[in-house]
Amino acid sequence: MAAAGFDAWGVVEATELSDAKARFEMWLGEGGDYGLDYLRRNVDKRFDARLLLPGARSIIVGAVCYKNEQSLSSDAPYGGRIASYAHSEDYHTSLKEMFRQVAERLGITDRKSMKICVDSVPLAEKSLAVRAGIGWIGRNSLVVNPRFGSFMVFGELILTEECDHYSTPYESDGCVGCGRCLLRCPTGAISPNRTIRTALCISNRTIEQGPSSEEFDTHGWYFGCEECQSCCPHNATSPLHTNPRFRPLYSPTLFDSNFRANLTPERAESLFGTTPLMRKFKKW
């Protein structure tokens, strides 16, 4: 996994995540998804990888740190704040290639015996990451790793092979005595039970619904929001990314206040070409 570029990983037995499923259904029942209809589809598959790959027995969960020089700069007064995971090549592409390398090294060539998941299929990646021993669910609802903090992206490689040893789930809680993210969130989107009120979350609003003047003028975010991460003490001490795939391809500090007005499709393509921002930009 390290040779492929992953920073943290673990292996989980492919069984139903019944506790996590019950919590998710309760959150849906409270309307936490706020119109993200795709979250209501395939709930059974999301919590049982055997329904995604018949005969699945193991899941390798991999995480990569994407923290860069801008990740802690939520207060920077430049023309468009953009979540730092979107400064580099689209992680969906990167992680899929990395997992293909892992599968090759494991000698797995039969497509029917493996499935790579990077957001493209419903899978409860945060619950799996905890089970894989990668970290705990922080109060900001993100997985926090004691070394890499929460500036991480995740993917999974589901296998029909049994593993001779599975990871120990992460059981400590590194949030005890803190609560900075709750205080910092500009919209009060973080619930006390470590879930997010999606309707209020700037990240959801600007990524799923497209950049809006309201979000930008009030909060200064053009794409995403990292305020509940940039204030986290675990992120203050975590290292910057080392995987070259997560090297920033542009710097939002270069954008002035006219940046949005001047953003023609051609300019967007040249600025954001292979980043997650461009993938979204095409849909808006």
Beta partners for residue 158, in sequence order: 59, 115
Q: What is the rounded CA–CA span in Å between residue 134 and residue 77?
A: 34
| Alpha-helix runs per DSSP H in 30-85 | 43-46
Task: Count the residues of the shown chain that bind ligand SF4, applying the rule CB under 6 A.
Answer: 25
d(CA 282, CA 94): 19
Instruction: Please classify residue 19 by burial: count the beta carbons closer than 10 Å to its beta carbon, then call 0-12 exposed, 13-18 middle and 19+ buried.
Output: exposed
Which tokens belong to 261?
């007005």
Which CB sits closer to ligand SF4, 99 or 223?
223
Site string for ligand SF4, 86-125 (x = CB under 6 A): ----------------------------------------
The minimum distance between CB 237 and ligand SF4, in angstroms, equals: 11
DSSP notation for 226-261 = -HHHHT-HHHHHSPPP--GGGS-SS-GGG--TTTTT
Q: What binding mask, one character per residue, do residues 178-207 give for ligand SF4 by CB under 6 A, x or -?
A: xxxx---x-x-xx-----x----xxx----
Residue 119 appears among annotated catalytic residues: yes
Instruction: Report whether 268 contacts 210 (CB < 8 A).
Output: no
Q: Minimal distance in Å, beta carbon 40 to ligand SF4?
A: 20
Q: Which stretch binds ligand SF4 (CB under 6 A): 57-65, 89-97, 118-126, 224-232?
A: 224-232
| Positions in the binding site for ligand SF4 (CB under 6 A) | 138-140, 144, 174-175, 178-181, 185, 187, 189-190, 196, 201-203, 225, 227-228, 231-234
> Which residues are identified as catalytic?
119
